[in-house]
Amino acid sequence: MKKALICGISGQDGAYLAHLLLNQGYTICGTSRDAQISSFQNLLHLAIRDQVKLESMALNDFRSVLQVLTKIQPDEIYNLAGQSSVGLSFEQPVETLESITTGTLNLLEAIRFLGVPIKLYNAGSSECFGDTGQTAADETTPFRPRSPYAVAKAAAFWEVANYREAYGLFACSGILFNHESPLRPERFVTQKIVAAACRIAEGSTEQLYLGNMQIQRDWGWAPEYVEAMYLMLQQSQPDDYVIATGESSSLEEFVAAAFASVNLDWRNHVVIDNSLLRPTDLAVGKGNPVKAKDKLGWQAKYKMKQVVQMMVEAKRMFSKS
């Protein structure tokens, strides 16, 4: 029976990954900065909270990381932890850099120090590519990060590549494009849109305030994307992969789909708020997942409109319960 350590298990991806690995017969340990006070709502939502062992671990503290790895002795580590909001990274750049870059380095160094064959998955990000224009980014596309979050993720990516080449570690990064689900908190714009549309459909008179609606993103379905993480660690050789649908849609199209799914016209309920614009933003994000299809046998089944529909259905079901 394999044992997996999931850093950042309380988040969207961590919870779905734990659910997937439990179904694969894994023993799961998840970490949080303070496991005693964390609610782990997403694990409760998926009804797997009691099937997961939880440990407190501070990723930016090497001693803490080393202690947990020594205690748990995992076969696989999935590093999904760290500050995860692009927008918040402009307000908290130091916390973002430390939680992502130092945290990743501590995991790599702890694996090297222990000298055991632990496989590491690192959560990369499509934000590292910056603005790719109409060209779909693949694994050879240069990084041009445009936010503190993207800078931190780019540094962590190269740390993983360096340890793989220098020390022979089985370490790889998944460069994931945007992926959504009902487990997204409302500070993410996709869930903010879905939640507002559902409330307005139920009679709320509120207006939805949004920033730049012309940005384009490659939106996928999070439960599918964690399958790609798992598959990367089942390969004979470690490598990095772009995970995406290969299709981009504008935020306006996302909004239109969300409101249409509750029989509303978004133009009657949305207000553009310039205070929500970021200092720098990406006009277009689009991924080329051909390598993942060829090497991992992974391909996205759900595209943006289906993702929106599933999020709306889940939100409406939750509000009734």
Has 209 been annotated as catalytic? Answer: no
| 233 DSSP 8-state letter | T
Residue type, 177: F
Has 302 been annotated as catalytic? Answer: no
Active-site entry in 32, 84, 121, 127: 127
Has 149 been annotated as catalytic? Answer: yes
Of 128, 207, 188, 204, nearest to 160 (Cα)?
128
Of 115, 97, 225, nearest to 159 (Cα)?
97
Residue tagged 């089942």 (tokens): 234
Q: H-type helices in the chain, by residue range?
A: 12-23, 41-45, 62-72, 86-91, 93-97, 103-114, 148-167, 189-201, 222-232, 251-260, 290-291, 304-320
Sheet of strand 76-79: strand arrangement: 53-56, 27-32, 3-7, 76-79, 119-125, 171-176, 241-243
What is residue 48's three-state secondary structure? Answer: coil
Q: Which pairing describes strands 249-250 and 119-125: parallel, antiparallel, or unpaired?
A: unpaired
Active-site entry in 32, 125, 147, 181: 125
- Rounded distance between C-alpha atoms, residue 239 and residue 201, angstroms: 45
- Rounded distance between C-alpha atoms, residue 140 and residue 145, angstroms: 15
What is residue 78's three-state secondary structure? Answer: strand
Active-site entry in 149, 163, 230, 302: 149
Helix and strand numbers, DSSP H then E, in the chain: 12, 13
Number of Cβ within a 10 Å radius of residue 154: 21
Q: Which residues are catalytic?
A: 125, 127, 149
